[in-house]
Structure 1
């Protein structure tokens, strides 16, 4: 006899409180999603951020233009120096001796050039003298020629002796030779005058090439004396001083660097996918790790790099090889900082930053069409050596 069939289990009673809790959670999630979507559309969508940003500045090297021995060092690392302040002094003895030699050579050259102009006057006098000798010789030749012409018809009649006629004829030959010699002497004097004038033609003693060359050597030697004092090219702070007293330095050897911390900027490296809406003059907010979130710097986009970092790398990527993996590239973006904020919270070259660019304003240019004067940091040209 078969056993009776089991009765089905009763269905659990619905829990109204659980349904309300799930509905509340779903509502909270939906509201949070809508709020985040609205926040992204209204706020986050208007910013591009990166933490790949670093402080950059002009690191101006102080290098000598002449070789010499270091006599004094008047600046140390971290010292603040003014533009034109002497940083290093080299031994000026050799340069001063060279200057004295150049000045003596200039004086000797001036005397030699004056002698050239005096020789011009002497050569002119020689030409005049030779011209007078030629005129006198021609006059004598004319007189003797007339004597010969008068006596020649009288020889046949016996009025003039043959011996006397021969004597006058010999004088005529000698007179002709004297005229030829005077002409040659005059020609030689004129050639000498031309040669002398070619050394001074078209110039004055002050503008003679020899004098100008000697004067240039004096200026060069004077510059060498002046360059024994190495001055700060810009106002800033000394860094990487690597010169010692008594050291023999060569021209062009780096001795120290000067960094103008009041003129630094930030180089923010954005991904290539973030560049579509970046424009010049867009506002940027930046924070530095050295100060934390409590200090916020304000700047503007000053320029976008002309190439990615990989394009200028020492060993650029060889994308034509078989094993190729796409890597998102980054492009440097230059950000100009507020000078007042820099004065209140100074930055150092190389510090890391976080940058957030407001890309809501898209009426600016993508590439700059203006140049920036890097050399005129202080508004005046200075000898940077």
Structure 2
């Protein structure tokens, strides 16, 4: 553990408050967002909110320091995954400290980071910052990074252009410069109903969907058998899986419809269109002809449900060096297979790295926790990064050419 052993009482109190808001993705996060807005307002800091289509969820974006282009964003999501069916030792929405850990839903993913950021606001506001420090708190990251898209569109419309972003997902305070991308699709297979005693008159959608699901598994096996050599990823290949299947009406009816959800995580240098194209080609060339020999109107349709880009390591070199120099991380951590909002920030032209307190192994589990020493290290990093933000230069500024 670093020399920073214990977080401030301010961080612990704020984290307990944030955990007490049950911001499960299916529910509103407005209570938490409005509390943060008021917390900042009391310190003389204004915030802009951007809402989802229902008005029940919102992002918050605030700026500390001068009204100038550039600056560094501390970004995190406010939503958490459900606790339904999980065996918790205590109330998941009441923070509990024991054995050097703070327990509660969202403690590491990722309200611990948000609390550390908010605890440093007064210190940053009192400093004579030469470049702005921005706070970005989003909704619905856990269900497809929905909120950050609204936030980025709002920033573009307002001509706010940060230079770099630290996404505080749990990394054990290592600096992560790359992660996989993620896509998910719904596949709808349409066959022909018939009485179960006359299967020859129907086209069984479930059975043909099963053939396509089997092909998806075959592709997954092929990728796993050919991992990328010298890859920094913990899982050095693209992965696919089928997650949900639904079809049929009754046991005595040949099912007309079957739909399933499949997705994949892909390496930054993979082509995500090629992966889904392989599935679609197999459906068109091998499954549909067999179905249409029996029923000309049979069909297979694909609908993209989510598309979250990978975080590529190259464009993040300058901000990675800067964060490592001030955080004491020393060297970059491994590339990770889980997905964050960092890929979308990078896609919007904001160089991004992932660095936050806690371990991804604790995320989404019962008795989720963050170590107090990790929170203390995070506090120190945020204060140092904010106070030295004016020293950060992008690779373009340093070399005169983009990387």
**Which bin holds the TM-score, normalised by the shorter protein?**
under 0.3
TM-score, with structure 1 as normaliser: 0.22
Computing the radius of gyration from Cα coordinates, the structure with the larger value is 1
Q: Which structure shows the bigger proportion of residues in helix conformation?
A: 1
Greater RCO structure (CA 8 Å; 6+ sep):
1
